[in-house]
Structure 1
């Protein structure tokens, strides 16, 4: 790459779509690899605070029973020929007006932060099919931060940031962390990879091209309330472990034989070797 061109970063960006930006560049050691030398990754999620509303009125049981066939889900129990159509309530205008009025209290916010904090510093299993048969799906979570509430288009939002060694297969990467590499490159006279130098520009970019799309989708489609409705509609079978008592029903626990686990593990290992990048 030719880097002695004046204003090379600006000139590159002039030829890119505005949704893709170059912030800067550093010379790396010859063996640098962005994927393998990444210590951890930081993911950020945005969620409206009304999903944490403990008020019973927010429950799906009080939602208007107005339905559409698009929200119908066909469920077939394992080992059964019986089929059950579950009708999922669609968020109503009146319901969403009340949802968007909700503002999280300091007590609930502290509870949310305390809950997510429990994931820090422990090994836990990624939520994927192979999780219960492979120890490689366990990761170390070093950070889970819940930001301060923010009002956007009459709705209050929270930012959830989680930092871990790795995450689910094919999950979107947002920002790699190269702490170990930076220590090595500084010793060898190279400039470290430092995103903080471009923090203001990066935040403005995220607000314009990422956050705004999430806000718009929620405003138009009531995404999160419909998601909550879907969960509530499936509590009898799939999500029975989501209850205020914190008790996992016996019927919600999947039990497999040792032979079945072994066969699935062999299948996963074979698939991984064939698709290894």
Structure 2
């Protein structure tokens, strides 16, 4: 086994059971990643994850000693946000104790650049910042910012003849679900024909405003137990605060129109954003009013599918209060140094930088987001029609689960799985689906997580 010290027998060498160690420092590692090839972010033995890839790279680079390379808990690895399988991050924050001067790193090469040589281009370490000993990236995070990008054709109403279209006909005088678009399609058009036609569709201003009204209704502190899995209405951890949600102006990529929905919240539960997006899509495309949102915060349990992971990006955690504390501590250190009660070496050792993104680093992150996240998203959608498969799967689902999509925006008893109880089991099954997608997991996906698991 490799050791970090003088060879045994040399003058001053340590005895074999007391090998000299390179010093470890507690740091925050800001890392961006494309999560498409990974089963989530948190380390899970035997399963490819983002943290697993980063931890292995640090060990190969010598930033983690061989004695600690077999278990991430030995270096106290933790994270600000635990992203779901397939979800990306412009940057996330990891914290651990690591060696800042690996023995094989060229002296002139920045540590971040050296570490990135051990990682694929889809994972980038942006910066490494010394942090206070009490730093916890999750608990000290003030808020997290996410973005979900989706093609606007998801707001098209369900295809005539589908199960959801038939349900809408029962709940209102007419379906009111994009009749002009569907009337223009050949009778008996295939899934592939529909996908091709949808690319040319452009969202109208009224539909865009309806989407904005719906997502804005999520803002505030509410009980979001309906937007995760395995959680009871009475569980206090379901109370979350959404500070700001907004829908961008439409933009076109490869002839397909998209919008992005920004989420700024204190914290999010597992699948919460994907379910919030899914409900907004379902409501807007069926002319269900935004009053439905308030209903979902009540005790009636409803089934909400997950929108594809493909569109979700963690833009980054934010640490306003921690940075304020660091600033106050640095002022005191400056005063001690000025009073000659602290020498320069001790001052530099105790001084900490805020967890912030500078202008130059932000340019690199935005370029990574464009090339490695959004561009990959657009390419995958163009090749695999991920969003179209998902919405097609929703439309052919047979059962009363979506009867909350009605003109009154109320949840009928037929669409409720019970009062305040956690989801379990399937109430219905989708019909045979052309272009079906396993990502939708309708109507329940409890098997994926333990109760209360957080995304970030």
The question of whether the paired residues in 2 share the 8 Å contact of 1:41 and 1:166 is answered with yes
Please state whether the residue corresponding to 2:231 is helix, strand or coil.
Answer: helix
* CA–CA distance in structure 2, aligned partners of residues 47 and 194 of structure 1: 29
Residue 164 of structure 1: aligned partner: 265
1:186 to 327, 336, 360: 327
**Is the alpha carbon distance of 1:170 and 1:123 closer, same or farther for their aligned partners in structure 2, counting shifts above 3 Å?**
closer
- Report the alpha carbon displacement of residue 13 of structure 1 after superposing the two structures with TM: 2.2
Residue 254 of structure 1: aligned partner: 417
The question of whether the paired residues in 2 share the 8 Å contact of 1:235 and 1:242 is answered with no
* 1:49 to 2:148 alignment: no
The question of whether the paired residues in 2 share the 8 Å contact of 1:119 and 1:141 is answered with yes
1:116-135 to structure 2, matched below 5 A, reads: 116-126=215-225, 127=227, 128-135=229-236
Query: Once superposed, what is the RMSD of the aligned Cα atoms?
Result: 3.0
Please state whether the residue corresponding to 1:30 is helix, strand or coil.
Answer: coil
The question of whether the paired residues in 1 share the 8 Å contact of 2:231 and 2:451 is answered with no
2:126 to 23, 31, 39: 23
The question of whether the paired residues in 2 share the 8 Å contact of 1:124 and 1:139 is answered with yes
Superimposed CA distance per residue, residues 152-210 of structure 1 (whole angstroms, 9 cap, x where no aligned partner) = 11111111121222222488982211121111111112321113532221121122222
Residue 177 of structure 1: aligned partner: 318
> Structure 2, unaligned stretches of length 5 or more?
1-98, 163-187, 273-311, 331-351, 423-449
* 1:100 to 2:199 alignment: yes
* 1:2 to 2:100 alignment: yes
1:1-277 to structure 2, matched below 5 A, reads: 1-2=99-100, 5-8=107-110, 9-53=112-156, 58-61=157-160, 92-126=191-225, 127=227, 128-169=229-270, 174=314, 175-189=316-330, 190-195=352-357, 197=359, 198-234=361-397, 236-256=399-419
The question of whether the paired residues in 1 share the 8 Å contact of 2:129 and 2:355 is answered with yes
- Report the alpha carbon displacement of residue 256 of structure 1 after superposing the two structures with TM: 4.9
**Is the alpha carbon distance of 1:272 and 1:152 closer, same or farther for their aligned partners in structure 2, counting shifts above 3 Å?**
closer
Please state whether the residue corresponding to 1:220 is helix, strand or coil.
Answer: helix
Please state whether the residue corresponding to 1:31 is helix, strand or coil.
Answer: coil
* Larger RCO (CA under 8 A, 6+ residues apart): 1
Superimposed CA distance per residue, residues 198-248 of structure 1 (whole angstroms, 9 cap, x where no aligned partner) = 222112112222222322232223222222222222264221212344232
* CA–CA distance in structure 2, aligned partners of residues 92 and 122 of structure 1: 40
The question of whether the paired residues in 1 share the 8 Å contact of 2:327 and 2:354 is answered with yes
- Report the alpha carbon displacement of residue 21 of structure 1 after superposing the two structures with TM: 0.9
The question of whether the paired residues in 2 share the 8 Å contact of 1:144 and 1:162 is answered with yes
* CA–CA distance in structure 2, aligned partners of residues 173 and 226 of structure 1: 20
TM-score (norm 2): 0.46
The size of the alignment, in residue pairs, is 233
> Structure 1, unaligned stretches of length 5 or more?
64-88, 262-270
Whichever structure has more helix as a proportion of its residues is 1
The question of whether the paired residues in 1 share the 8 Å contact of 2:147 and 2:313 is answered with no
Superimposed CA distance per residue, residues 69-124 of structure 1 (whole angstroms, 9 cap, x where no aligned partner) = xxxxxxxxxxxxxxxxxxxx996222112211112223322221221111112323
* CA–CA distance in structure 2, aligned partners of residues 50 and 196 of structure 1: 37
Residue 28 of structure 2: aligned partner: none
